[in-house]
Amino acid sequence: MVKFIFTFSLLLCFLSAYCQNVNLQQEISLPKSRYQLSELLEEITDQTKAQFSFTSELNTNKRVQLSDSVSSIRDILNQSINLKNFKIQARGNKIFIISIPPYDRKYRISGYISDAKSGEVLINATVANLSNFTGTVSNNFGFYSLSLKNKTHLLQFSFVGYKEVLLDVELERDTTINISLQPKTILQEVKVTADERTNNINHLFVSSNSFQAKNMQQTGVFGENDLFQNLRHLPGVQNSNEGLGGLNIRNGSPDQNLILLDDVPVYYSSHLMGLYSVFNQDAINQVKLVKGGFPAHYGGRVSSVLDIRMKDGNTKKLEGGYSLGLLTAKFNLNGPIKKDKTTFNLSIRRTYLDLLINGILDLSGSNVNAGYYFGDLNWKIVHRFSQRDKLYFSTYWGGDLYSIKSSEDISTNIREKVRYKLGWGNFTNSLRWNHVYNNHLFGNTTLILSRYTFLLKEKRSEKNNDSDYIENYNHEFKSGIRDFSFKTEFDFIPDYKHYLKFGLEASLHHTKPGSDFLKNTRDNNPGISTDELIKSKEVNLYGEAQIRFGKKLLVNMGTRWSSFFVDNTYYSTIEPRLNSQYFLTPKWSLTGSFSQMTQYLHLVRTSTLSLPTDLWFPVTKKIKPIDSFQYTAGTHYSFNKSVKLNIEIYHKLSRNLLDLKETSYFQDVSSDWEYMVENGKGWSKGLEIELSKSKGKTNGNIAYTLSRSRVKFESINNGKAYASPYDRRHNFSIQVNQFISNKTKFSAFWTYGTGLPATLSTSNISAISPYDPSSFETKTVFTERNSYRLPDYHRLDLSISFTKKKKHGTRSWDISIYNFYNRKNTSFMYVSTDNNTYTDPKLKKIHLFSFIPSVSYSYKF
Amino acid sequence: MNYFKLLTSLILFLLLVSCEEEEELPEAKSHQIISVNSLIGVDSLIQVKLSKSTGTSVEIKYISDARITAQKNDKELGEFIYRQNGIYELPGQYLASESKYQITVTHPSFKKITTNTFAPEKVSINDIKLVNDESEGKTTFHLKFTDDASQNNYYMLLVKGIANNKSNVIQYYSNDIVFEGNLNVNDNDFDQNMLRGSRSFSDKNFESSQVEISFYILNNDFFVDYPKYKIELYHLNEDYFNYERSFVSLQNKDDILFSNKTNLYSNVEEAFGIFSSYALDYKIVSKQ
């Protein structure tokens, strides 16, 4: 037995000594930094006793430059040998440098895809390898990366509305190829040059729509081409009131939409109380709307994401345009500052209602000067330092301003001048740096400043006879929110089957519920100055992986960890996300998704509309963040490259939604809001169907949404569930664009929607007077929330545009009619009683925009 | 909030482009609910008035067959007796300050209702001065009282004109910060907030416990020449304060279409109305 143990132990010792692998992590010190490869291998052998084994394919005469004098064996070999062609393995005391067969070698092709005419990057353009129908898509900055085996490939670069580029490539090393696609003229025939299997490579079509701004031509009230108006022909997207009230997506309120302009959140996205969006179409390159199945890199709101990318500017030549409409004038100029290096894009828009009104007032000899206007300025500058580095700086300033100036004699020798100003607007800035670390890794780092301000000013001054005016009253009120954010995000693309995205966001939110400044020298009162600032911090970490399983299943899974700090309160949430798409055939796929979203900022409404006076507040100990859980399932069928059918169902649960308590009134919103609201839950479900044709002389889309949305609050409506304010059972729209010729385009848009819920006061009570307990007054009360419905909504819009090429550009006349058959759509209704008799109450319905014709002229050069 | 200005401008804009249609009111989708009304002063007889919601009719429907019981500091006080016009009284029981009262209303057609109030202590007026400025057409009052800084206090100030042994609540104005701009002189201007005209205030803007408030009346506001004024300082509890502000807020909102659909403040669960209390001190001053 002892003999056996001794022999066995000895055997083990020998075996272990024999099998001991060379440790590739072993560090060695090299006396020189430059070697011939054969000399280097000998040096390693001398120091480690490791034997090298390699084929004649390895060029041992190659000169090698090393970065460090002390390094591990693996690092030294990695620096010296092309790992695309050879792999390194250690076995026993031997190091094998094995040649990879040529057909197994992988090289990477990467670069940017852009518009050949303007140089504008193309987002979500497809790169397909036609030999095996694998591929990828370009990211938000037009960057793509694809790994291919070492042989000849036929690559197809394509994007909707552009001519495809077919490229024969034979890769021998990692290669950068920037591709420019030529835009198609609209009437060019559709030529299908490739298999349908290239259509959907790496695209996930879960509850999302992407558009290029140049294809969005839907006009709204007064003929203004408006982003929100263009989105309203999509299923699941509606507006709450005729022309007013913002955008409602899948029954969510406007404040539940995350609206990003070049990665910067925009807090108030409407002009003129919600009639128009704040986004000037001239400045926009691409828009992506996500209604469900949210990827992990989006977060902070619970209903939808609207990701808007501004144009970088033409890299080839200076171009621009202007337009004059009934309501607005617009101007755009963009082009290279330094060709192919630095570009700029400037867009300006302004209404001139105030000029018209003041002109009329001046003509009538009035002492009053009043007006309202809104304006926007978009500015972007992009500089390309190299193929790997780009710097972007973009700014948006937009605001609405209402002002009144008047003067009058308040006594025989004293004249008073009064000035009121009421304004609100956004100011956003982002500084972004794109860096291609290597052909696998793309990084984007952003610094963000976003500000929304509501401002009210009143100034009074007086003068005696011929003296100058002296200011004696000055009152200012300000509220708003300001964000300072840092965001860094990486796209890691190891191969065509995997696309990884991960990043970090950190934000400081400064919320100002209301600051007052009052200086009143007239009554010798001391000045008042109150200011309150709520500081909160938000940190988010996220990671997502898009993985292709075989050729039929595409899955995007990820997680977002969000955390929020305010005062001494801390919230943290793990938000799982899962999207999947299974291709039954190249044309037909099934989709499914689950996503959890958390919103840490609440919008407290001061009325039933989405008004600029509404205040953003961070969560508190009492008021918790909104959580939503959304499930979707759908199917997508492509009849051909132009005609597509999408059907999707969704189910959304939300908790910690806010509504005003039944008996609340705002005494001081800034300090009392959390006691005036109550939190509850809501659930929405719906079916969305969309049939679209994107190419050809006749194109357009048909959309239908069937939905139901309910909310429940413990102390509202006797604790019974009731219809949410955005519950529209049926919503149908059809949009048709017909190119009559190369120069003339006709469009028609018809929409129908079930009436929205309304709350009416249909009961009276007797209420004691707070000033005289023996006296009583009749007060109306609201006993049931949203128990009535506005009448059904429908309207038809028509437009025709005539374009003509001129010597220096293209001019266009656009004539449009809003609400062609003059449907009186009810925007609001209320119960009205004769104030004298208090009898015979009537239902009053308010209609806004009826038949409105408009015309605009534009010129592009 | 100054959003009243914005709403006004919005309405002006809408007037330009809107039109209105009138229809018969659809059938009411609501059930009847009790309305409780009781604002009781310290040392006053304890009374409650009951009525029910009336649908679209404005005719008051009193409730005469309810059973109301009361407790004082968690001890039974007895049962109310019905008098007339919906009024119930607790015979021989007068509201005592610094006491908690609770009433319970039961009725076969309605859910059981319970509500309570804490009666505040009287806050005395230390001094009141009147300055009559004929040239400016206004009479200014300077009121002094002591605020108990150890607790949150709510007040209401009423001015009554006395003539021919009758008194009427009259309009007064103030630029004093305690009114938070509710009683500025230009109260018809749209610079005012939704609480314009509210005569209640809290102690959150007091700088010391010795409070001095200035307010004035405009002589041209009245057809009657009042030789005397009664200045009433109400010490309220929080429910009364909320009720007064809610009452004013609803009056100011009136027919603004987009105002939030909320009701008069109520401290009565499962019903409408108010059950609250106050303590009053007053001074009568003569016009100089």
Q: CB distance from B41 to chain A under 8 Å?
A: yes
- Structure tokens given for B30: 């609501």
pLDDT at A17 > cutoff 50: no
Task: List the single residue in B with minimal CA-CA distance to A402.
Answer: B9
Average pLDDT for residues A428-456, to the nearest whole number? 92
CA distance A331 to chain B (A): 27
> String of b and e for B242-273 (b: at least 16 CB within 10 Å)?
bbbbbbbbbebbeebbbbbbbbbbbbbeebbb
* B75 at interface of A, judged by CB pairs closer than 8 A: no
Whether A666 sits inside 8 A of B194 (CB atoms) is yes
B8 touches chain A (CB under 8 A): no
Same domain, B131 and B245: yes
Residue A495 domain flag: yes
Q: Are A578 and A631 in contact (CB under 8 A)?
A: no
Interface probe with B: pick from A416, A665, A720, A834, most Cβ of B within 10 Å: A665
Cβ partners under 8 Å of residue A436, min gap 6: A110, A143, A387, A388, A389, A442, A443
Contact in structure between A292 and A257 (CB atoms under 8 Å): no
CATH number at A92 reads 3.55.50.30
Chain B residues whose CB is inside 8 A of the A608 CB are 258-261
Question: Do residues B176 and B217 both lie within one domain?
Answer: yes
User: Taking 90 as the threshold, does the pLDDT of residue B54 lie above it?
Assistant: no
B211 and B111 housed in the same domain: no
Q: What is the pTM of this model?
A: 0.81
CB B141 within 8 A of CB B214: yes
In-domain check, residue B101: yes
A254: which strand partners? Answer: none
- Sheet bearing B100-107, strands edge to edge: B75-79, B67-72, B100-107, B110-118
A-chain CB neighbours of B242 within 8 Å are 665, 667
Instruction: Among A164-168, A812-816, B58-62, B163-167, name the one with the lowest average pLDDT.
Output: B58-62
Q: Identify whether residues A555 and A672 lie together within a single domain.
A: yes
CA distance B240 to chain A (A): 8
User: Higher pLDDT residue, A674 or A570?
Assistant: A570
The string of pLDDT tens digits covering residues A155-184 is 888 887 788 888 887 777 778 888 888 887
Of B193 and A601, which is predicted with more confidence? A601
Name the residue among B9, B57, B272 with its Cβ closest to that of A402. B9
B269 within domain boundaries: no
Q: Do the Cβ atoms of B158 and A771 come within 8 Å?
A: yes
Q: How many interface pairs between A and B have CB atoms less than 8 angstroms apart?
A: 217
Share of chain A above pLDDT 90, in %: 34
Query: Residues B205-250: pLDDT tens digits?
Result: 788 889 999 999 888 777 778 889 999 999 999 999 989 988 988 8
Shared domain check, B164 and B249: yes
Q: Is B14 contained in some domain?
A: no
User: What is d(CA A608, CA A539) in angstroms, rounded to the nearest whole number?
Assistant: 32
The Cα A588–Cα A462 span in angstroms is: 75
Rounded (10°) angle between helices A73-80 and A37-48: 170
| Count of CB atoms situated within 10 Å of the CB of A475 | 19
Q: Which residues of chain B form beta strands (DSSP E)?
A: 19-24, 34-41, 45-52, 61-62, 67-72, 75-79, 81-82, 87-94, 100-107, 110-118, 125-133, 138-146, 154-163, 166-170, 200-202, 210-218, 228-236, 272-286
> Has residue A231 been placed in a domain?
no
Nearest alpha-carbon partner for A765 in B93, B220, B167, B86: B86
- Does residue A509 carry a pLDDT above 60? yes
Residues B236 and B102 in one domain: no
Tokens coding B111: 């859910």
Question: What are the E-state strand segments in A77-129?
Answer: 86-91, 94-99, 106-115, 126-129
Structural domain count, chain B: 2
* Residue range(s) defining the domain that contains residue A663: 307-860
B51 to chain A: nearest residue by CA? Answer: A766
- Indicate the average pLDDT of chain A: 84
Has residue B123 got a pLDDT over 90?
A: yes
pLDDT of residue B29: 65
CA pair distance A235, A688, nearest whole angstrom: 6
Q: Which of A833, A845, A848 is opposite residue B17, by nearest beta carbon? A: A848
Gap from B266 CA to chain A (nearest CA, Å): 6
Q: Residue B10 falls within a domain, yes or no?
A: no
Domain assignment present for residue B76? The answer is yes
Residue A187 has pLDDT above 50, yes or no: no
B-chain residues near A253 (CB < 8 A) = none
From CA A299, how far away is CA A256, in angstroms rounded?
11
B88 and B205 housed in the same domain: no
Please tell me whether residues A601 and A486 are part of one structural domain.
Answer: yes
- Per-residue pLDDT averaged across A36-62, rounded? 82
Residue A652 domain-assigned (yes or no): yes
Partners of residue B163 on adjacent β-strands? B166
Contact B23/A528, CB-based, under 8 Å?
A: no
Residue B56 DSSP symbol: T
Range of the domain at B105: 34-118
Tokens of A379: 């500015």
- Residue among B1, B39, B194 whose CB faces A770 most closely: B39
| Closest by Cβ to B257, choosing from A667, A828, A847 | A828
Distance from B42 to chain A by nearest Cα, in Å? 13
Is B157 in contact with B232 (CB distance < 8 Å)? yes
Pick the last residue of a domain from B118, B142, B162: B118
Is residue A481 domain-resident? yes
Judgement on whether residues A649 and A708 belong to the same structural domain of the protein: yes
Asked if A436 and A342 sit in the same domain, the reply is: yes
Same domain, A123 and A32: no
Query: Given this model, what pLDDT does residue A11 score?
Result: 45
Are residue A479 and residue A397 in the same domain, yes or no? yes
Q: Looking at the complex, report in whole angstroms how far the Cα of residue A832 sits from the nearest Cα belonging to chain B.
A: 8
Whether the CB of B160 is below 8 Å from some CB of chain A: the reply is: no
How many domains is chain A built from?
3
Query: Of A155, A173, A198, which closes a domain?
Result: A198
Kindly provide the b/e burial profile for residues A516-548, where b requires at least 16 CB atoms within 10 angstroms of the residue's own CB.
bebbbeeeeeeeeeeeeebebebebebbbebeb
CATH code of B157's domain: 2.60.40
Report angle CA A628, A630, A635 to the nearest 5 degrees: 165
Tell which of A667, A675, A779, A834 to mutate to test the B interface (max B CBs under 10 Å): A667
B207 touches chain A (CB under 8 A): no
Smallest CA–CA distance from B199 into chain A, residue: A771
A801 part of a folded domain = yes
Are B282 and B155 contained in the same domain?
Answer: yes
Are residue B89 and residue B134 in the same domain, yes or no?
no
d(CA A44, CA A53): 13
Task: State which of B78, B103, B118 marks the end of a domain.
Answer: B118
Last residue of a domain, one of A100, A122, A147: A100
Among A47, A71, A100, where does a domain finish? A100
> Between A669, A770, A839, which is nearest B1 by CB?
A669
- Whether the per-residue pLDDT at A309 is higher than 70: the answer is yes
Complex ipTM > 0.90: yes
B-chain CB neighbours of A605 within 8 Å are: 260
For residue A7, the surrounding DSSP H or E stretch is helix A2-19
**CB contact A662 to B (< 8 Å):** yes
Are residue A187 and residue A122 in the same domain, yes or no?
yes
Residue with more model confidence, A546 or A715: A546
- Where helices occur in A371-438 by DSSP H, the ranges are none
Q: What is the pLDDT at residue B256?
A: 67
Q: Which of B87, B118, B149 is the last residue of a domain?
A: B118
A301 in any annotated domain: no
Number of other residues whose CB lies within 10 A of the CB of residue A333: 18
Summarize pLDDT for A196-220 with one digit per residue, the tens. Answer: 555 556 677 788 888 888 777 766 6
Q: Are strands A842-847 and B19-24 parallel, antiparallel or unpaired?
A: antiparallel
Residue A79: the pLDDT is 81
Among A314-323, A579-588, B174-183, B267-276, the range scoring the smallest mean pLDDT is: B174-183
Question: pLDDT tens for residues A573-588?
Answer: 999 999 999 989 888 9
Do B222 and B147 lie in one domain? The reply is: yes
Check whether residue B130 and residue B215 sit in a common domain.
Answer: yes
CB of A211 less than 8 A from some CB of B:
no
Answer yes or no: do A81 and A135 share one domain.
Answer: no
**Chain B residues with CB inside 8 Å of A273's CB?**
10, 13
pLDDT tens column, A230-274:
888 899 998 666 656 678 899 998 889 999 999 999 988 888 767
Question: Does the pLDDT value for residue A854 go beyond 50?
Answer: yes
Query: Which is more confident, B288 or B127?
Result: B127
Inter-chain CB proximity B258 and A611 less than 8 Å: yes
| pLDDT tens readout for residues B139-184 | 899 999 999 988 899 999 999 999 888 888 898 988 887 887 777 6
Classify residue B150 as left (phi > 0), alpha (psi -120 to 50) or beta: alpha
Please give the full DSSP string across B74-113, using - where no structure is assigned: TEEEEE-EE-STTEEEEEEEEPPTT-EEEEEEEETTEEEE
Q: Are residues B71 and B151 in the same domain?
A: no
Q: How far apart are CA A799 and CA A811, in angstroms?
A: 16
